[in-house]
Amino acid sequence: MKKIVFITGANKGIGFGIAKYLGKSGWQVIIGARDGQRAEEATNVLKLEGVDVLGWVNIELRDLASIEQAAKEINTKYPELTMLVNNAGIPGDMSVDSQNTNLSDIKETLDVNFIGTFMLTKALMPLLTKNEGRIVNVTVPSEISPYWHPLAYVASKAAQNAMMGVMAIELQQSNTPLEIFSVHPGPTTTDLNGNMSLPGFHDIETVGQKMAELINDGQSHQGEFIELYPIVEE
């Protein structure tokens, strides 16, 4: 069976790193992006690295019509899809504490990171089930870290974690041949956090390679929340 993965937000950051190292390990890659120029640039770079990029799909997770169209395109063009990596997301306003967080920011972040991710997952589940595939979410712990806890972002990812847990139990109970699990990359220097680089942070190359190794380890991770690089207390 072919190994074909659709990665949202694969034009940059952690998504690009995952695409690169899954591609180097034999996966065919479909890039999910909302900007055509960035998607084409990422495609060109990945191909130079030897990655078999099948194409890119336009998707805007805050737009339900865009999600529906993307799912239709994937079903039509890539009927052998075997994995979805839910990587794309927005940070919300990370500069304010909870008392000063605007409701509009909460709603916008939930719309992308939870509702958009849920709707895409739901739309592709029938195809992935037919191909006995996998769904992998890139997320953060629901437990609150004393070091970093922007409300909108953490709340949206906690909802995403709950989605994964509920779906995993239901898939197990119904003996559905589909696996879903979540991965916390750990502190990583990306655009999402303003390219923050502090002790304990990792780069995109390191995280992408480690993520690919996990996905390719031949083990079932149904319902698991896996931390690649746990946050260590000082």
Q: CA–CA separation, 186 vs 166, rounded Å?
A: 23
Q: Look at residue 234 in the predicted model and tell me its pLDDT.
A: 41
Q: Are 36 and 14 spatial neighbours (Cβ–Cβ below 8 Å)?
A: no
pTM (2 decimals)?
Answer: 0.91
Q: Look at residue 196 in the predicted model and tell me its pLDDT.
A: 47
Q: CA–CA separation, 17 vs 11, rounded Å?
A: 9
Q: Look at residue 190 in the predicted model and tell me its pLDDT.
A: 52
DSSP string of 156-207? HHHHHHHHHHHHHHHHHHTT-S-EEEEEE--SB--GGGTS---TT-B-HHHH
| Residue ranges of the chain whose pLDDT lies below 50 | 189, 193-194, 196-199, 233-234
Which positions ≥6 away from 161 have C-beta within 8 Å? Answer: 137, 139, 141, 142, 182, 225
Residues 188-199 have pLDDT tens digits of 545 554 454 444
